[in-house]
Amino acid sequence: MLDFAIGVTENSRLSCFTYPAQMRATLKVEENQLAMNSTSTVATGMSRIPQGVPAIVASVFGMALADAIIKLVSADMSLWQIWVLRSVIVIPVLFAFARGRVTVPGMGWIALRSMILIAMYLFMYPALPFLNLALAGAAFYTAPLFIVGLAAIVLGNRVTSYHWLAILTGFAGLLVIVCPFAATFSPLVLMPVGAALCYAVAAIMTRARSNDVPPVVLGFWLNVTFLIIGLVAMAVLTSGLVTPNSDFPVLLAPWQPTDTGDWGMLSVLAILMVGTSIGLAKAYQSPRPEVVAAFDYCYMVFAIFWGVVLFGEVPDVWTLVGMVLIICGGIGGLMADAMRSKR
């Protein structure tokens, strides 16, 4: 009997230490499971963001800043000189990123895509010295409308009524900002619209013909094209076939000497070009370019921001209303894609 009592007492003592230990182990396992579930939830939430959206938002931020810098320096330096000097910095960087593997199948399509993007810049940049940055950006961002239409026609993507509503909401925001029927409307605003069409064609071509090409390779050949076009244009200016004209420096200024400040600005442009060259290619390799196009409108928000910071172009009430509509269009594009995925 005494042995039994001693045994019970010992078992009780062991239980006092064993059970809490077991409970702690169980709680630890449950905590780990909760942590794993939380991580899984976050990963699932991130995976619901359509491919290409983060890339396009980062890219249009860089594009807006680059456009503002071009507007800032184009009074002293021609676009051709900027292209040449910037490309001298960018090309070796992209070549290194690609590890020298820059020759891929479909080089003809890559060359055509690069030339279309060159045309886009030639429509856009000559207008910048004469247009408010926000106005030029607003006109340029008719591009998502072109992209949605081309995605349906060329790629056969099904564009839902919700996608169209999102795009048109953003476009309505642009109309509020641009005021095309106001007395201050300038026909020069049509030049960024031409740039928008080029941008849309290049975006769809990226998806249709260069989807398997590494974005860094597409960026490399785009900048090679910048360099070639810039050198040819400067050769024409120096040959006397076209007379340099300081009244229109963005296209006709002669080669200008550069100082440390100029090289600092060119280095910033080079960094932005590396990012946007890769980011835009990656964004429009997405299987849903019409969804990515809705977030293209974020450019307007960034353009207005840089306009305020660098040029003191303070937006009025209608510009702010337009910005709200643009943001709603972008969010609507994401929601439309989520609704489509659930069906």
What DSSP designation does 158 have? -
What's the pLDDT at 27? Answer: 42
pLDDT at 291: 67
Confirm whether pTM is higher than 0.85: no
Contacts of 264 (CB under 8 A, 6+ apart): none
Nearest to residue 93, comparing CAs of 203, 206, 211, 224?
Answer: 224
> Tokens 């209608």 map to which residue?
318
> What pLDDT is recorded for position 182?
66
Q: Are 204 and 151 in contact, with CB atoms under 8 Å apart? A: yes
- Between CA 288 and CA 324 the distance in angstroms is 24
* pLDDT computed for residue 100 by the predictor: 92
Answer yes or no: is pLDDT of 47 > 50: no
Q: Which of these ranges, 42-46, 88-92, 156-160, 246-250, has the smallest mean pLDDT?
A: 42-46
Of 16-20, 136-140, 160-164, 186-190, minimum mean pLDDT range? 16-20
Say if residue 198's pLDDT is above 90. Answer: yes
Q: How confident is the model at residue 183 (pLDDT cuts 50, 70, 90)?
A: low
φ/ψ bin of 108: left (φ > 0), alpha (ψ from -120 to 50), beta (otherwise) = alpha
Lowest mean per-residue pLDDT among 83-87, 98-102, 291-295: 291-295
- What are 341's two structure tokens? 């995925």
Average of per-residue pLDDT values in the chain: 77
Count other C-beta atoms under 10 Å from residue 309's C-beta.
11
Where in the chain are the domains?
Answer: 55-342
What is the band of 233 on the pLDDT scale with cuts at 50, 70, 90?
very high
Rounded distance between C-alpha atoms, residue 92 and residue 201, angstroms: 28
H or E element: which one contains 105?
A: none
Report residue 222's pLDDT band, with 50, 70 and 90 as the boundaries: very high
pLDDT at position 323: 75
pLDDT at 249 over 50: yes
pLDDT band at 280 (very low <50, low <70, confident <90, very high): confident
